[in-house]
């Protein structure tokens, strides 16, 4: 069996940096209680591994004991939550992805110019909640071009169009064009979309077209992993989404000549390697 493994499979830069910050804390023998504010990534195996090393997950600032070290994950957090955390007497390790941080800073700057932020994203996503907290002149979150075009724009008002870092760039460009075609709207555009998701999807599609079967590795709770499996399935290539090697459907895989392998941005290399090792034995 030939195995075609995606070069982009696994951690994106933001996840990698956040985990390195957490690893450095855990490895320091003199550390006090270490917590993450929310699950550090959407991968149950990684979370179990950290739990075994004593890392706890806090869901609210009230759960942070004084003297502890608390890691803010790659999605970032809202400003008021950050202020609450600062008041807890804990050391805060800000592992917000640099790309998310940049989006927060730019949105804050636009808000100070009095611009209302039009944010393309999922309103319940933690990153979006964080970004909106920087939009002090007001924000509108939407997840389709239709919703944006239905927005009651007012003449004399200033706007800023931005996006959650993992949104689709092509759709965002359509939105920019649609707004530019409307006369009399003062709108500044922030290019906040990160290419990590798009690159993974592009490569997964290219591989899916050249193989008999695709294996996508990653947490069932990981949105970007689920979307990877979906773009592969949309190509019509048979595909399976597994979290670990033991979940591979060996009966379906035996006898295939070319199998593609990719993984979401929150999947550790170790789990991808284990899946590859099982495939190689077939
Ligand atoms: S997908 Fe992009 S913005 Fe989001 S954490 Fe990864 S590198 Fe950062």
Domains of the chain by residue range: 2-10+196-281, 13-96, 99-193
In the predicted model, residues of the chain with pLDDT beneath 70 are none
CB atoms within 10 A of CB 222: 21
- Is residue 22 within 6 Å of ligand 1 at its C-beta? no
Would you mind telling me the total number of residues written for the chain in this entry? 282
> What is the Å distance from ligand 1's center to 163 Cα?
13
The catalytic position among 127, 157, 191, 280 is 127
For residue 219, what pLDDT is reported? 93
C-alpha dihedral, 101 to 103 to 109 to 113, nearest 10°: -160
For residue 9, what pLDDT is reported? 97
> What is the Å distance from ligand 1's center to 280 Cα?
31
For residue 153, what pLDDT is reported? 95
Would you list the DSSP string of 206-271? HHHTTSSEEEEES-TT-HHHHHHHHHHHHTT--EEEESSGGG--HHHHTT-SEEEEEE-TT--HHH
> What is the Å distance from ligand 1's center to 100 Cα?
7
Instruction: Give the separation between CA 187 and CA 242, rounded to whole angstroms.
Output: 43
Among residues 96, 167, 158, the alpha carbon closest in space to that of 133 is found at 96
**CATH dotted code for 2-10+196-281:** 3.40.1010.20
Task: Specify the ligand 1 atom closest to the Cα of 15.
Answer: 5
Pick the CATH number of 13-96 from 3.40.190.10, 3.40.50.11270, 3.40.50.740, 3.40.50.2300: 3.40.50.11270
Q: Are 13-96 and 99-193 equal in CATH topology?
A: no
DSSP state of 63: G
């Amino acid at each position: 069996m030939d195995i075609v493994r995606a070069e982009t499979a696994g951690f994106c830069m933001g996840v990698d940096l956040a985990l390195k910050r957490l690893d450095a804390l855990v490895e320091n023998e003199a550390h006090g209680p270490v917590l993450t504010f929310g699950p550090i990534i959407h991968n149950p195996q990684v979370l179990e591994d950290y739990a075994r090393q004593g890392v706890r997950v806090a869901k609210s600032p009230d759960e942070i004991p004084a003297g502890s070290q608390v890691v803010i994950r790659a999605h970032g957090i809202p400003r008021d939550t950050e202020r609450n955390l600062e008041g807890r007497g804990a050391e805060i390790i800000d592992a917000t992805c640099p790309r998310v941080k940049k989006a927060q800073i730019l949105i804050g700057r636009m808000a100070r110019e009095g611009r209302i932020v039009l944010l393309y994203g999922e309103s319940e996503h933690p990153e979006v909640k964080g970004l909106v907290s920087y939009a002090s002149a007001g924000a509108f979150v939407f997840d389709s071009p239709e919703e944006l075009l239905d927005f009651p724009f007012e003449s004399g008002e200033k706007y800023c169009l931005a996006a959650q870092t993992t949104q689709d760039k092509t759709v965002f460009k359509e939105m920019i064009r649609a707004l530019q075609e409307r006369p009399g709207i003062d709108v500044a555009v922030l290019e906040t979309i990160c290419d990590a998701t798009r690159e993974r999807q592009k490569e997964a599609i290219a591989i899916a077209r050249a193989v008999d079967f695709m294996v996508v590795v990653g947490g069932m709770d990981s949105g970007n992993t689920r979307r990877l499996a979906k773009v592969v399935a949309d190509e019509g290539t048979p595909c399976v989404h597994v979290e670990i090697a033991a979940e591979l459907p060996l009966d379906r895989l035996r006898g295939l000549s070319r199998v593609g392998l990719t993984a979401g941005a929150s999947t550790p290399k170790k789990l991808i390697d284990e899946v590859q090792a099982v495939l190689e034995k077939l």
